Amino acid sequence: MSKLVLVRHSPTAHNESGRLQGRLDIPLTDEGRAFAAVVAGRVVDRHGLPDQVMASPLSRAVDSAMPIAERAEVGILSDERLQQRSYGEWEGLTWDEVRERFPLEYERRMDGADPRIRGWESWAEVAGRMGAALREAGERADLTVVVSHGSAITAGLSDLLGVDPSAGVFGHLPHGAWHVVARAGNGQWRLRSYGLGADWP
Amino acid sequence: MSQVVVVRHGQTDWNLHGRLQGATDIPLNDHGREQARHAAAYLADHLDGATHVVASHLSRARETAEIIAAALGADVTTDARLAERAFGVWEGTTLADRVRDTPLAVERWDSYSDPGVEGSEPAADVGTRFAEALAEHSARHESVLAVGHGAAARLGIQSLLGMGTGRGFEGLGNTQSAVLRRRADGWRLLRYGIGPSTVPGPL
């Protein structure tokens, strides 16, 4: 049985000031780095040492994965397909700024749909690449920790479970929290846990 | 904003020995009562006496609910729609028994189709009744805690989320929880399979 532990990276300065990052490579804050070490302890306590640790190439993901990889004494495998969704012209803006400058497209986004702006990567695109990366990871090891990003994780999880990512079924994943999916004998991925490591909602 | 917490009952001897219970009324064992007390202490940090606690009529769920409700300062209501999926002639069997005696039905069940053995309840029916119960209780109470069962909770939660009763989630482990929030246009999953790190029981 193959298991994937999908962890959201720890906070950056943009996360703290509510700015969208997308493909912008914003580093962890000092607190974020310290928190990543705490998260590593929680993940290993719950699931044991992973055989494989993967991360999106963005530094906030790599640096969040580092303490887990160190405990497991493995390298971090980088996969571009694990990156956060590209937010296009919204990257760097706060949600208030988005609402002011793109009122109609903001509403579309709040309804869970893809806004029609330059550079936006659709749910379908993110889900397709994340699903492929996660399935391949699951073929290579029994226990894989994957450090990625909020929307990307939602999209990837949706793809593995056959759920429409724009349906809004899956709620917010806090930083440093994670989901667990397990692959059954017949190859189907199933959700075992959602939002482990998070405070009570 | 309405929130529903779904908890699976604590361990029974049949859980321990891998025997499918379904509609059979097997009580908690002592470890199950201890699990329920731990879950109650954790839940009491986040919920209070205003929470509407409801459980299936099966004693393993009702007793788990009573232990949790006592910690919250709440009463327990019973709702038979939260009962476990009936498995008919499979009740009391282990996986080895089923693989030996009804291998094709086991294959169907593994791929999330109805096993179709005599007396078993179709997944869609279970999902619908469990989801209806959750929706109804949450329409009347802001905070609901429902104590149910592995297969029924999985099917009910998937139904409530509009995912259908095919593949999706594994069953909750004993005293593991799920948390759902109702929004204007449907339900959202916030947590699933949180609580003690037990291997999920049979579905």
Residue B74: give its domain's CATH number.
3.40.50.1240
Check residue B198 and give its pLDDT. Answer: 53
Does B6 map to a domain?
yes
Chain centroid to CA A130: 9
- Bridge partners for B77 per DSSP: B54
Is there a domain that residue B200 lies in? Answer: no
Among chain B residues, CA nearest to A48: B197
Is B172 a member of any domain? Answer: yes
B3 chain-A contacts, CB cut-off 8 A: 201
Kindly state whether B30 is in contact with chain A, defined as any CB-CB distance less than 8 angstroms. Answer: no
Record the tokens describing residue A176, joined without a space: 């440093």
> What is the tally of structural domains in chain B?
1
> Is residue B201 one of the residues assigned to a domain?
no
> Three-state SS across B90-139?
HCCCCHHHHHHHCHHHHHHHHCCCCCCCCCECCHHHHHHHHHHHHHHHHH
| Mutation site for A-interface testing, chosen from B192, B198, B199, B203 by largest number of A Cβ within 10 Å | B192
The low-confidence residues of chain A, meaning pLDDT below 50, are none
User: What pLDDT, on the 0 to 100 scale, is given for residue B203?
Assistant: 38
* Average pLDDT along chain B, 203 residues, taken 10 residues at a time: 94 96 98 96 94 98 98 97 98 97 93 92 97 97 97 98 94 97 93 76 37
Q: Is B37 left (phi over 0), alpha (psi -120 to 50) or beta?
A: alpha
In a domain, B163, yes or no: yes
Residue B43 covered by a domain = yes
Any domain includes B65: yes
Domain residues for the domain of B188 are 2-194
CB-based contact A190 B181, cutoff 8 Å: no
User: B167 CB near a chain A CB, below 8 Å?
Assistant: yes
**Residue B95: which residues within 8 A CB-CB, separation 6 or more?**
B18, B106, B202
Question: Any idea which residues of B carry the catalytic annotation?
Answer: 9, 84
Report the phi/psi class of residue B162: left, alpha or beta, with left for phi > 0 and alpha for psi in -120 to 50: left
Q: In what order do the strands lie in the sheet containing B177-183? A: A76-78, A52-55, A143-148, A2-8, A178-183, A189-196, B186-194, B177-183, B2-8, B143-148, B52-55, B76-78
- Judge whether B102 lies within some domain: yes
**ipTM for this prediction:** 0.96
